[in-house]
Amino acid sequence: MADAVFAAQPYAGISTFGRATHTTDLTGVDVAVLGVPYDSSTSYRGGTRFGPRAIREQSLLLWGYNNAQHVAPFRSLKVVDYGDVDVVPPDIKATHAQIELTASRILDAGCRLLTLGGDHSISLPLLRAHAKKHGPLAVVHFDAHPDTWDSEYPQQPYSHGTPFKRAIDEGLIDTAAYFQIGIRGPTNGPQDYADAITLGARMITLDDFRTRNLADVCAEIRTVVGTKRLYVTLDIDVVDPAFAPGTGTPEVGGLTSYEILQLVRGLRGLNTVGFDLVEVSPPYDHAGITSILAANLAFEFLSLWS
């Protein structure tokens, strides 16, 4: 589409994702990119509220053609930048309600949704909206952390450490096809991983990943997910802080940029119904390297649909 072909210089103009048209008119739209500038449920370093804006800014450098997937997603799909969810910083339930409402509006219009966070708590209302439309979903969850705690704070069931526990409790995830990939780092004890596995997560820790090859991991995902409807959630802290320092709870010894690109490309052909990319914190970034990676990962997501 003409308005997503990059006529202007990448450093000129106003930043929408990939220079897609900013509109909430979903007529004829294939994919809506949605920002969720919310970071009130982070447990350590904040700043992910600035993630969507930084990723959009870096996305202006994306050229249109994907040489790894051999597609030009901005040409073959009608992509719009829907803007940001109207978040409520002191009220996570109100924020989640706003996210679910906006996501459902987009999905009900027959569009697919690519969401840029924001902290990882936002995946819960996104999964609610997608599961409402599609039923329980296969999930590929890239993260250094399982995010399956029952709570991080007394009487607080919602935060960025709990979304997948809540999602499983609510029946949003098909636990026969729920992958956690890249898990690593110190925890409170062995119970954190054991609890995730008991809930049904098929955990491929970073150590597991290192002892296998990438093709083998991708093959397992493809076999287990099969033709199921798949939701993909990518916490940027799955990537090593040497490649992605701009995040709130960094864990050393993670994936390289190239490995996460290849893992995402390995999902090609699966029945993916939604993506989110979370936990980019620009105040802790350096030279934009984390948001550049995030913009490219979002481009790989779009390319999977192309």
User: Which residues contact Mn ion (rule: CB under 5 A)?
Assistant: 120, 143-145, 147, 235, 237
Q: What are phi and psi of 66, to 5 degrees?
A: -95, 110
The residue among 49 and 145 lying less far from Mn ion, judged by its C-beta, is 145
Q: Which of 203, 199, 270, 272 is nearest to 233 (CA)?
A: 272
Per-residue DSSP letter, 77: S
Q: Which of 127, 171, 151 is nearest to 278 (CA)?
A: 127
> Do residues 69 and 306 lie in contact, with contact meaning Cβ atoms separated by under 8 Å?
yes
Q: What minimum distance in Å lies between the beta carbon of 191 and Mn ion?
A: 18
> Do residues 54 and 286 lie in contact, with contact meaning Cβ atoms separated by under 8 Å?
no
Compute the distance between CA of residue 18 and CA of residue 14 in angstroms, rounded to an integer.
11
| Burial grade of 90 (CB within 10 A; 0-12, 13-18, 19 or more) | exposed
The residue among 239 and 295 lying less far from Mn ion, judged by its C-beta, is 239
Q: What minimum distance in Å lies between the beta carbon of 19 and Mn ion?
A: 29
The residue among 143 and 276 lying less far from Mn ion, judged by its C-beta, is 143
CA distances from 87 to 35, 74, 193, 263 (A): 10, 28, 31, 31
Compute the distance between CA of residue 260 and CA of residue 239 in angstroms, rounded to an integer.
7
| Burial grade of 273 (CB within 10 A; 0-12, 13-18, 19 or more) | buried
Q: What number of other Cβ atoms are within 10 A of residue 45's Cβ?
A: 15
Q: What minimum distance in Å lies between the beta carbon of 175 and Mn ion?
A: 18
Compute the distance between CA of residue 239 and CA of residue 255 in angstroms, rounded to an integer.
4
Q: What minimum distance in Å lies between the beta carbon of 143 and Mn ion?
A: 4
Q: In the chain, helix, strand, coil percent, each to 5?
A: 40, 20, 40
The residue among 23 and 151 lying less far from Mn ion, judged by its C-beta, is 151
